[in-house]
Amino acid sequence: MHLPVQAVQEIAEEYARRRRQHRKVRLAWRKSRGARRSLGWIPFKVRTIRYRGGQIYFAGRWLSLWDSHGLGNFELRAGNFSEDSRGRWYLNVCVPRAQRVGDERNKPSVGSILDRSVPSLGIDLGLKTFAAFSDEALLPIEAERFYRDLEPVLARAQRARHRKRSRAIHAKIANRRKDFLHKLSTRLVKANGALFVGNVNASALAKTRQAKSVLDAGWSAFRTMLLYKCADAGVWFAEVDEAFSTQTCSVCKSRAGPKGRKDLGIRGWQCTVCEASEAIHDRNVNAAHNILAAGHRRLAEGILGPCGRGGCQANALTVLCVSPEKGEQPTSQAGVGSWPTKTTIGRETSGDWAMERLSVKSGSGVQRHARYWLSMLCVFVPFCLSASANAEESPEIAKQAQNPIASMISVPFQNNATFGVGENSRVQDSLLIEPVIPFRLTSDWNLITRTIVPLIDQPTLAPGLGNVSGLGDVQLSLYMSPVKPFGGD
């Protein structure tokens, strides 16, 4: 087949993108021969294919296909032809789509979700029980054994070196799994206005002894299906943190449930804290209730946005300190370059100022330590703002604040974020606390101390082990300064 020049250009562009991605001048990309050869892939650009009478015209040939979507009703744009492991070719093409009724703008209101007038559902994923639901009317769904059921047949075909038979069995396993996940996800999306699922780390569990069961369950594929189906149907969707969801009582929110590996066999437990709850908590259903409650909190706090799994992305972190009496506008902003996170702040009144509760949704894996540092910032910002307010009320203090050798204690702080650290381009975050304290030595001289205390949170050198936090090297600087400027009064 003689490829058009547009297809050759697209292949060259893709090769250049892969070289930049892997940072290599020469890249063993898409092998054409050998046992590990790449599957066929032919890209094309807009207006290089035509559809007529159930056939596609490309590169001077009419190619027959099984049209299951009615391509004659759409405008065909860029796409590609791809080959699967069994030698079958598929047409993947982009088509424009008109705005549908169930889009982002027509989602049910947050109030209707929170007051339960529109049904919402929490989903807890597992290995033995694939999905447990917060709605007790829905029975838990037992995990299917797609791979393990056909594993003996596959082993016989591989021992006999029947490659075509082995590929057919693998395709059957994948098709059975996709059919199950598609039917379940579609049914849940149609029946609910909001879906919240736990963020179980499938990629990490796939590196353990449970890898075969984890990969056979298809958690990531199921969550991806829920993501795009909810976006298409106008349903709220989010992956929420499921940490301690099985240990926390869904009634009183106390962490009184079974803990650790030794208690994994306990599937039902009774809370010893809340006496009103006499029922036995099912481990998975209790976790689904906690996941639903976490999703409702995120909706109430405004974290969920119209794009992505947890919300849109912003270019900076903003720290707000709001007076409960005056309801003032934001008084400080801590810019940290271009931080790909969205920060939403809720207020909890305590004394004269509102202590801020920050919830961070990150697309790059910095949720935990971003919340840690921002919480520390909220401790220092009210202190600095109160000092600024006193400076405005006292002209003398304001004059001393502008004098670098004045006998005045100051506590500045600086937050630095370093992007692209480690193999997965993660973030190193450091908060520098720099107190400046003067001491009177004599009637004419002061001793000024400046201490730099770095609090550092950074990814570990070994991949998949999370982050480490601690105190960096403390630097102490001493300066001698006159009480009054030379030549002054």
What does the domain layout of the chain look like in residue ranges?
5-93, 104-301, 341-482
Q: Are strands 79-83 and 41-44 parallel, antiparallel or unpaired?
A: antiparallel
| Closest listed residue to residue 15, CA positions, set 35, 36, 34, 38 | 38
Q: Architecture of domain 104-301 in CATH?
A: 2-Layer Sandwich (3.30)
Task: List the beta bridge partners of residue 10.
Answer: none
- The pLDDT of residue 7 is 87
User: In this predicted structure, what is the pLDDT of residue 489?
Assistant: 46
Instruction: Quote the pLDDT of residue 284.
Output: 85
Give Cα separations from 66 to 45, 70, 71, 89, 321 (angstroms): 21, 10, 10, 11, 61
**CA 322/CA 301 separation, integer angstroms:** 16
CA–CA dist 449, 436 (Å, integer):
6
Answer yes or no: is pLDDT of 188 > 50: yes
Confidence of residue 24 (pLDDT cuts 50, 70, 90): confident
Per-range mean pLDDT, top range of 57-71, 143-157, 267-281: 143-157
Note the pLDDT of residue 272: 76
Q: Say yes or no to pLDDT of 250 above 70.
A: yes
Interior CA angle at 457 toward 452 and 458, to 5°?
120
Tokens for 220, please give them.
């990531």
Task: Write down the pLDDT at residue 178.
Answer: 94
- pLDDT in the model for residue 346: 32
Question: What value does the mean pLDDT of the chain take?
Answer: 75
Spell out the residues 6+ positions from residue 402 whose beta carbon is closer than 8 angstroms to its own. Answer: none
Quickly state the pLDDT bin for 37 (edges 50, 70, 90). Answer: confident
Residue 224 pLDDT > 80, yes or no? Answer: yes
pLDDT confidence of residue 325: 34
pTM of the model: 0.58
Cβ atoms of residues 209 and 127 within 8 Å: no
Give the torsion through C-alpha atoms of 106, 107, 108, 111, to 10 deg: -110
Ranges 69-78, 199-208, 387-396: which has the least confidence: 387-396
- In this prediction, residue 172 carries a pLDDT of 94
The SS3 of residue 197 is strand
Average pLDDT over residues 427-431: 83
Torsion from C-alpha of 113, 119, 124, 126, nearest 10 degrees: -150
pLDDT at 399: 54
